């Protein structure tokens, strides 16, 4: 019975007709990237044809989330500094949240906060390509907002369980759906052909010790989620701080003292990240308001 529910829900989640349509430009760019002879200039030219999307990409990449605030002036420069996987993650997240911004209030702010925190964790742990770790944080809750649109009645029941039984969103999802947004994230990552490291972070951020191939990515996203919840920035659907996995800190080679320093950096950058919104209705909440 439970497997039938999962199969049915997966079908609804991945319904092509209803799933948010990613910009056509992303398909074109993905094809170009597969050709080893394609230049960055050619890829940038395709993205730049969509002026609204280009503006959103530049607004995001110039935030403190990626460590180059105010210094990236073109899509081509973004691609050189950050790489295609990061830009693709930015395009997917801004496109999905743009379409679904009312589905879960506060989730966009929670997500960009987590992107900032995850990137800071990666830098503190001296991991290669911290910008890609930021994308893991940005996309870690994508399954929640997609489920809100694709499974509205079940989503409503999850919210009622959170409020009525004082449950964490993740626990309520498993009680109502039989699985959490981590499972949905894995389906979405496959559907959108996301890199394996980003997929594992999205699907294992609640239990990073179970990550088989990319435990660093899953652990960084886990710690990033913990930090943004401590600061109560935005809303992940509930107001509870996720339990911090000691194993995640061990995997990253970090100590509790390092965590304090990361939180100080997070606090310093939070004001600038608050400005990364897309539209008059998307004003970020002040810290402490979930």
pLDDT of 203 higher than 90: yes
Residue 16: phi, psi to the nearest 5?
-60, -35
pTM given for the model: 0.87
Architecture of domain 2-273: Orthogonal Bundle (1.10)
pLDDT of 50 higher than 70: yes
pLDDT of 280 higher than 50: no
Task: Name the residue ranges covered by the structural domains of the chain.
Answer: 2-273
Per-residue DSSP letter, 27: H
What's the pLDDT band for 17 if we cut at 50, 70, 90?
very low
Average pLDDT over residues 97-109: 77
Per-residue confidence (pLDDT) for residue 282, from 0 to 100:
40
pLDDT in tens, 223-242: 999 999 999 999 888 888 88
Which residues have a Cβ under 8 Å from the Cβ of 72 and sit 6 or more positions away?
Answer: 58, 61, 62, 78, 81
Burial class (CB in 10 A: 0-12, 13-18, 19+), 231: middle
């Amino acid at each position: 019975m439970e497997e039938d529910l999962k199969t049915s829900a997966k079908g609804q989640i991945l319904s092509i007709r209803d799933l948010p349509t990613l910009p056509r430009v992303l398909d074109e760019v993905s094809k170009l990237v597969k050709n080893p002879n394609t230049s960055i200039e050619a890829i940038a030219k395709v993205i730049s044809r969509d002026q609204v999307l280009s503006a959103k990409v530049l607004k995001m990449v110039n935030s403190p989330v990626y460590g180059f605030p105010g210094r990236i002036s073109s899509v081509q420069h973004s691609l050189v500094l950050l790489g295609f996987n990061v830009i693709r993650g930015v395009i997917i997240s801004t496109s999905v949240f743009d379409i679904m911004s009312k589905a879960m209030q506060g989730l966009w702010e929670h997500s960009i906060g987590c992107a900032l925190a995850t990137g800071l964790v990666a830098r503190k742990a001296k991991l290669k390509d911290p910008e890609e770790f930021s994308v893991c944080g940005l996309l870690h809750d994508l399954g929640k907002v997609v489920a809100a649109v694709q499974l509205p009645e079940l989503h409503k029941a999850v919210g009622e369980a959170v409020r009525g039984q004082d449950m964490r969103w993740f626990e309520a999802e498993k009680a109502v759906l039989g699985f959490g947004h981590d499972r949905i994230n894995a389906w979405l990552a496959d559907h959108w052909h996301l890199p394996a490291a980003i997929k594992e972070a999205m699907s294992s951020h609640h239990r990073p010790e179970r990550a088989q191939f990319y435990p660093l990515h899953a652990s960084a996203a886990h710690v990033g989620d913990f930090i943004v919840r401590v600061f109560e920035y935005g809303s992940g659907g509930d107001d509870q701080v996720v339990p911090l996995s000691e194993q995640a800190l061990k995997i990253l080679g970090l100590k509790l003292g390092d965590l304090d320093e990361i939180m100080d950096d997070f606090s310093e950058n939070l004001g600038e990240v608050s400005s990364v919104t897309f539209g008059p209705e998307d004003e970020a909440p002040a810290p402490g308001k979930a």
